[in-house]
Amino acid sequence: MTIIFLCTAGNTVLAQYDFDVNVTEGCTPLEVKYTFISYATIDTIENYYWDFGDGHTSNLQDPDTVVYYNGGIYSPALVLNNRTDLMIVKSDLITAHRTVQADFRYFDTVSYYTYVFEHTDILDNAVTYDFLWDFEDVGLRTGQREIVTFPRIDSFEVVLTVSDNFGCTSTVSKLVIILEDIQVQNVFTPNGDNINDFFFVSSNGSYPLNLKIFTRTGVLVYENEGFTITWDGRTASGQELKSGVYFYVLKALSGDPSDRYSKSGALYLYR
């Protein structure tokens, strides 16, 4: 039903006007187009002032599409010619349902092949949600939290779709790399005999690594980054280090949600 507002100044009729929207309810981000309606303008309309109820305003006759990013109920208003006493307010006109984002985190368990997946966005207790996980080479699951055992060391696509009883839906896809335990040797002999001449670490292309080598007194003597790092027992300037005990610190530069590639320990260098 259209409401017609008859605006007066004393005994003088200024205008008959209203505004309309193309939608009053939906999921965020909710796009609403406002349209000014004038039925019988007698006085000149010099200015418009829209208040969309979410902190945004406009001075256009027909504003651009307004996007409601946050869930809530909004009461837009319109004022012409600065006549706040004749303001149109449409209480609770716009209802925006917050679309829950399908974000998730994952981490491994004591098993190299078994991971825990958890949806992470905040839920509204008054809303009913459905979760649909699609684990590549594993199948579908429907819980907010799932424990999944993958068939092998590999990378797998995981897709999560979250929907609610208002029809709001969000989907995210991530490539999950199932890690094997990285092996770090504790002794090497860089003496040129082609046997165990290098200290070698590799993530097998999973995550970029950072390796630091320290003396027993804590002096950094070597640092490098990469998916595979090979150290020949020399400093960055090419100086051969003496035989003895050194300490390494290894970590992934990105990813590695369970810190499986974060390792440290003693390293014995013999020539």
- Cα distances from 190 to residues 157, 159, 196, 209, 237, in angstroms, run 41, 47, 7, 22, 16
pLDDT for 258 equals 64
Q: Give residue 2's pLDDT.
A: 38
Phi/psi at 122 (5° precision): -75, 135
* pLDDT tens digit sequence for 203-214: 877 778 999 999
For domain 187-269, say whether CATH 2.60.40.4070 is its number.
Answer: yes
Where along the chain do the CATH 2.60.40.10 domains lie? Answer: 5-97, 104-177
Q: Please, where in the chain does CATH 2.60.40.4070 lie?
A: 187-269
The confidence score (pLDDT) of residue 40 equals 62
Positions of the chain with pLDDT under 70: 1-15, 40-43, 110, 255-258
The reported pLDDT for the residue numbered 16 is 75
CA triple 105-110-115, angle to 5 deg: 30
Q: What is the pLDDT of residues 218-247, one digit of tens each?
A: 999 999 999 899 999 999 889 999 999 999
Right CATH number for 5-97 from 2.60.40.10, 1.20.120.80, 3.40.630.10, 3.30.70.2860?
A: 2.60.40.10
Domain 104-177, classified CATH 3.20.20.100, yes or no: no
pLDDT of residue 253: 86
What is d(CA 244, CA 228) in angstroms, rounded to the nearest whole number?
A: 24
